[in-house]
A and B are shown apart, each in its own frame.
Chain A
Amino acid sequence: MSIQIADHVRDIPRSGIRDFFEVVQTMSDVISLGIGEPDFATPWHIREAAIYALEKGRTGYTSNLGLPRLRRSISEYVHRHFQLRYDPHEEILVSVGVSEAIDLALRALLNPGDEVLYHEPCYVSYAPSIVLARGVARAVQTRAEDGFSLRAEDLEAAITPKSRVLMLNFPTNPTGATMEPAEWEKIAALCVRHDLVVLTDEIYSELTFEGGVHTSIATMPGMKERTVFLHGLSKAFAMTGWRIGFACAPAALIEAMMKIHQYSILCAPIMGQDAAIEALERGENSVAVMRREYELRRNFITRALNEMGLECAKPKGSFYVFPKITSTGLTSREFSLRLLHEKKVAVVPGTAFGLAGEGHVRCSFATALDQIKLAMERTAEFCAELR
């Protein structure tokens, strides 16, 4: 028998990254700059705290919203780092990574046909998550000349009477874009004027370089009451596999998200939650050490790319660079496939992250320095041979 798949699921295109992953997997000795996760293992003190919790037999369910102590830690952490106050009893929900929290928020907010605006190039899950929540995904293109920051005027041009939600991700995967407070003010004013709810995925916020200060849009006037602040431990604390994220939002929305979460997931795994408490309460130094390392590698890879003639801005955040490859005369996909086959270096075509990514590739510098160095040598050879 042929099983019928729901139309809206069937119609979601295959992820460009998955396609590429399958090609890479068939090859050996590839140096991959295509990995969107830290190359560090979770800092030992965090792993050790989780082992201790397991030894104590902490293996059960937790409250749907997450361990009360973790929610208090989150509340304090978010206040310390983002100057935002959320009540741990009713304004914070612990999720299975930020991805789940995005899904919960969209499902809790959208009626069929509601429009969700998001900026491209962006993380691969945004548009499909919107569609799965029966929303209509509307991309706002950002530009290389703006460093892929979002312009308020571009956003305004995309707003329609059906627009209900704006999704944001700064620093951005894949471009490393960040936002200036002045532009945030304009965007915040638009959200208030058009009554938009904002989902802001700030997963890379700790990875802001050159001593830069990360500003959350939720701190702008009139925003906290209409914002779902999304964050997690995966990137800053090198905890991708623990699957712990969280959402901070007004109590009524957290209550609605909790309804979905309790029936579909029940709770995030307790081992991850115990580890997250240790990370948030005592992990600042580990984050600082990793940030320093990423910043050095960023300097290295940016200079190497520019020296081989691939124009590359120095990102102020995240662990990605998004060099322009148009000087080679190749499209993003051609460049990535040929670099992979001819030099065994994997980068991700910019088009995997949206149309505006054409002409660029994403290189992750969450990779050991010796690997980055070798990858840059091979990429330089590849570019030289093209000329």
Chain B
Amino acid sequence: MEAIIDLLQQNALMPRADMAKLLDMKTEDVEATIAGLERDGVILGYQAIINREKWETEKVTAVIEVKMTPERDGGFDRVASRIAKFEEVQGCYLVSGGYDLLIIVEAANLRGAAAFVAEKLSTIDAVQATATHFRLKTYKENGAFHQMETTPERLAVSP
């Protein structure tokens, strides 16, 4: 099962028959395992990794550090899941260190992102402070490099 997850993480579109050959399994068994993982919620979905440099869009991404006051019952969970529900929020993580929540926000443009921080995020009672960092350039995302390294030339045949 772990091997199947590894392969899906590398390339979720890999034909299941190829996966079966790689793992020395039957195609039906690979399909059944994946279906099981989807049913059990281990696999939540499949997404494309987009190279923003090549896609003309005004969309902006920001990483926001959020310092919060935890609640007596439940710590950060209730407020964190409240924040996570905003559609601008693409990722939301409780982290150790100088702040508590790290959120990834995607908005249609700069104004949209600013409005989210000023009007939605900062106005939540438990939120003490925020620091917003806008993404300028991506070098690597989900294990994929945005600028491909050229493949070095190999000999055609070697001993």
Contacts and interface: CB of A to CB of B under 8 A. Distances in A.
Interface string B6-21: 1100000000001001
A41 B145 CA distance: 15
B152 interface: yes
A327 interface: no
Contacts of A124: 159
A304 B157 contact: no
B18 A21 contact: no
A13 to B, nearest CB: 14
Interface string A1-21: 000000000000001010011
Given A299-B23, A300-B21, A300-B22, A32 B159 contact: no
B89 to A, nearest CB: 32
A303 B24 contact: yes
B156 A21 contact: yes
Interface string B115-149: 00000000000000000000000000000000000
Interface residues of B, number: 15
A36 B21 contact: no
Contact of B156 (A32, A125, A303): A32
Interface string A170-190: 000100000000000000000
Contacts of B155: 21, 35, 37
Nearest to B6: A292
A356 to B, nearest CB: 17
A385 B22 CA distance: 26
Interface in B1-42: 3, 6-7, 18, 21-24
Given A36-B159, A37-B154, 4 more contacts: A21-B157, A21-B158, A35-B157, A348-B157
Interface of A: 15, 17, 20-21, 24-25, 30, 32, 34-37, 39, 41, 123-125, 173, 292, 296-297, 299-300, 303-304, 346, 348, 369, 373
Interface of B: 3, 6-7, 18, 21-24, 152, 154-159
Which 9 pairs show the lowest CB-CB distances between chains A and B?
Answer: A34-B157, A296-B22, A24-B156, A21-B157, A299-B24, A300-B21, A124-B159, A300-B22, A36-B158
